[in-house]
């Protein structure tokens, strides 16, 4: 392994999904091991534990199950984040458990992912769970999807098995919004087509999993057209040296902002021009997502946290009526008339559930309009009324200005994740 310079690399975040026995932990262990991201002391600890438990082979899943209760039960109970790098790219894996709480955990992992990796067992073919994972990834607008057909060693590396799963999944995917799909036959246990090309599957001419992860193009997935800058923090030095400095700190959520741009501050509707964009002690000529910068305006307009800076002729519509898909994450069901706290970009308000229009069956995509509540791990379409206007875009257009979380005001717990369809 040569020297890796991480200030030259780019970043790919991906979320893994799969049923309990699809070999997900083995695959992650294999990716880490073959990219030389596992250290000797970690591997030795796993080998020792495997031996003391009387296993015939080193259980790579022990590398990823980091908590006592997980090791006790041999299951993954929560999302964990793992890291590895190749010379050109760093990877952040959101390792989501394929266990009963799948939807909530998958939504969590997929919310920040550029790519979703769904595992299927070649012997089983597509299951209800694989379809569900694909549906969730498509709802969360994860732009790239990889279906890894695992355990090819157990079906004699048979091309027909792969072709059948490939055809079946491609057919299913036409009903979903999946802009980029790759289907790769692998054996995580033996390492076929994971990092190294498989000699057992000469019939397969596509990329190995690692090659695909390294080369999939993610920069184009961001919205560089519609300028969106949620104001996060007002920088006021109150020092002699910077007496008149007044800047607005935040992370660019969309578009490209430049000094001289005519902008509007929402919700007040006041207009001004960008006087300068600061990145720490330097002025820069443009800012784009996901940069954290400080923007100065030419006029002394009233701007505070929760406001949004956008282009005069291209601004989101402030709205108190939100139509959204909600993933409900707690055991007490969501019901109409319920009041919750809502956090959207840098703005926090309260929300009232006006109506639950339908519950989505993530297996069949059937819209159940009879049930008027959402249970834990269920997804549905909901109408909300908020106490203050939110400055939102459809989630399909912008994952930052189109998303929100719901918080139970009594317990303080995050109970829901929302994706905006439209605001009116």
Partner 1 sequence: MTETHADYRLSQLDQLEAESIHIFREVAAEFEKPVLMFSGGKDSIVMMRLAEKAFYPAKIPFPVLQVDTGYDFPEVLETRDNWVNRLGVRLIVASVEEAIANGVVVDDGKTSRNRMQIGTLLHAIEENGFTAAFGGGRRDEEKARAKERVYSHRDEFGQWDPKMQRPELWSLYNGRIHAGEHMRIFPISNWTELDIWDYIGREGIEIPSIYFSHQRRVFERDGMLLTESPFNPCRPGEVAEERTVRFRTVGDLTLTGCVESTASTIEEIIDEVAVARVTERGATRGDDRFSEAAMEDRKKEGYF
CB of 96 or CB of 272, closer to partner 1: 96
Question: What is the per-residue binding string for partner 1 in 96-115, x denoting contact by CB under 8 A?
Answer: --------xx-xx--xx---
Q: Outline where DSSP puts E strands in 98-142.
A: 115-121
Output the CA–CA distances (angstroms, integers) from residue 267 to 122, 229, 231, 327, 418, in the order listed: 53, 13, 12, 28, 21
Angle between helices 128-139 and 159-173 (to 10 degrees): 40
Tokens of 68: 């006592």
Q: Is 326 exposed, middle or buried (0-12, 13-18, 19+ CB in 10 A)?
A: buried
Taking CB under 8 A as the rule, does residue 269 contact partner 1? no
Rounded Cα–Cα distance for residues 417 and 424 (Å): 20
CB of 264 or CB of 329, closer to partner 1: 329
- Please count the helices (runs of H) and the strands (runs of E) in the chain: 8, 21
CB of 324 to partner 1, least distance (A): 13
Stretch that binds partner 1, among 2-10, 170-178, 317-325, 377-385 (CB under 8 A): 2-10
Taking CB under 8 A as the rule, does residue 225 contact partner 1? no
The rounded radius of gyration (Å) of the Cα atoms in the chain is 24
Nearest to 135 by CA among 176, 85, 87: 176
Taking CB under 8 A as the rule, does residue 174 contact partner 1? no
Taking CB under 8 A as the rule, does residue 387 contact partner 1? no
CB of 370 to partner 1, least distance (A): 28
Taking CB under 8 A as the rule, does residue 51 contact partner 1? no
Rounded Cα–Cα distance for residues 276 and 254 (Å): 18
Nearest to 276 by CA among 251, 293, 300, 290: 293
CB of 177 to partner 1, least distance (A): 18
How many residues form the binding site for partner 1 (CB under 8 A)?
Answer: 86
Taking CB under 8 A as the rule, does residue 74 contact partner 1? no
- Find the angle CA(398)-CA(404)-CA(408) to the nearest 5 degrees: 175
CB of 125 or CB of 276, closer to partner 1: 276
Task: Give the phi and the psi of residue 274 in degrees, each rounded to 5.
Answer: -75, 120
Q: Peptide bond before 267: cis, by omega within 30 degrees of 0? A: yes
Which residue in 139, 213, 407, 420 binds partner 1 (CB under 8 A)? 407
Taking CB under 8 A as the rule, does residue 49 contact partner 1? yes
Q: Is 132 exposed, middle or buried (0-12, 13-18, 19+ CB in 10 A)?
A: buried
Taking CB under 8 A as the rule, does residue 5 contact partner 1? yes
Residues 113-172 that bind partner 1 (CB under 8 A): none
Taking CB under 8 A as the rule, does residue 251 contact partner 1? yes
Q: Outline where DSSP puts E strands in 69-109.
A: 80-86, 89-95
Which residue in 237, 268, 312, 336 binds partner 1 (CB under 8 A)? 237
Nearest to 122 by CA among 21, 16, 28: 21
Which residue in 80, 135, 146, 210 binds partner 1 (CB under 8 A)? 80
Which residue in 132, 404, 420, 423 binds partner 1 (CB under 8 A)? 404
Taking CB under 8 A as the rule, does residue 296 contact partner 1? no
Residues 319-338 that bind partner 1 (CB under 8 A): 329
CB of 238 to partner 1, least distance (A): 7
Taking CB under 8 A as the rule, does residue 6 contact partner 1? yes
Which residue in 54, 174, 238, 240 binds partner 1 (CB under 8 A)? 238
Stretch that binds partner 1, among 127-135, 148-156, 205-213, 289-297 (CB under 8 A): 289-297
């Amino acid at each position: 392994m040569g020297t890796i310079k991480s200030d030259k690399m780019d970043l790919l975040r991906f979320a893994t999904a799969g049923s309990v026995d699809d070999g997900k932990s083995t695959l992650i262990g294999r990716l880490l091991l073959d990219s030389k991201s596992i250290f000797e002391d970690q591997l030795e600890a796993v080998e020792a534990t495997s031996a003391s438990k009387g296993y015939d082979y080193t259980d790579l899943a022990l590398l990823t199950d980091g908590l006592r209760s997980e090791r006790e039960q041999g299951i993954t109970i929560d999302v964990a984040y793992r890291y590895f790098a190749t010379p050109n790219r760093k990877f952040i894996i959101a390792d989501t458990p394929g266990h009963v709480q799948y939807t909530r955990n998958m939504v969590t992992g997929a919310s920040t992912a550029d790519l979703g990796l769904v595992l299927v067992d070649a012997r089983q073919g597509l299951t209800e769970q694989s379809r569900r994972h694909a549906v969730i990834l498509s709802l969360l607008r994860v732009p790239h999807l990889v279906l890894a057909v695992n355990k090819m060693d157990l079906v004699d590396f048979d091309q027909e098995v792969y072709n059948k799963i490939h055809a079946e999944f491609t057919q299913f995917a036409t009903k979903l919004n999946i802009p980029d799909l790759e289907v790769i036959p692998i054996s995580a246990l033996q390492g076929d087509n994971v990092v190294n090309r498989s000699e057992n599957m000469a019939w397969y001419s596509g990329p190995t999993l690692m090659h695909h992860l390294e080369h999939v193009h993610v920069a184009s997935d961001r919205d560089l057209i519609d300028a969106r800058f949620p104001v996060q923090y007002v920088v006021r030095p109150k020092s002699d040296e910077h007496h008149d400095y007044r800047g607005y700190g935040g992370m660019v959520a969309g578009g490209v902002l430049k000094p001289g741009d005519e902008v509007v501050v929402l919700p007040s509707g006041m207009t001004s021009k960008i006087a300068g964009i600061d990145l720490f002690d330097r002025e820069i000529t443009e800012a784009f997502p996901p940069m954290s910068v400080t923007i100065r305006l030419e006029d002394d307009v009233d701007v505070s946290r929760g406001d949004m800076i956008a282009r005069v002729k291209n601004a989101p519509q402030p709205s108190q009526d939100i139509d959204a898909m909600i993933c409900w994450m707690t055991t007490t069901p969501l019901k109409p008339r319920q009041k919750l706290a809502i956090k959207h970009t840098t703005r926090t308000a309260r929300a009232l559930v006006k109506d639950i229009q339908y519950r989505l069956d993530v297996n069949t995509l059937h819209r159940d309009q009879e049930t008027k509540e959402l249970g834990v791990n269920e997804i549905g379409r909901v109408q909300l009324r908020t106490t203050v206007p939110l400055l939102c875009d459809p989630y399909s257009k912008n994952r930052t200005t189109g998303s929100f979380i719901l918080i139970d005001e009594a317990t303080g717990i995050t109970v829901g994740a929302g994706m905006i369809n439209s605001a009116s």
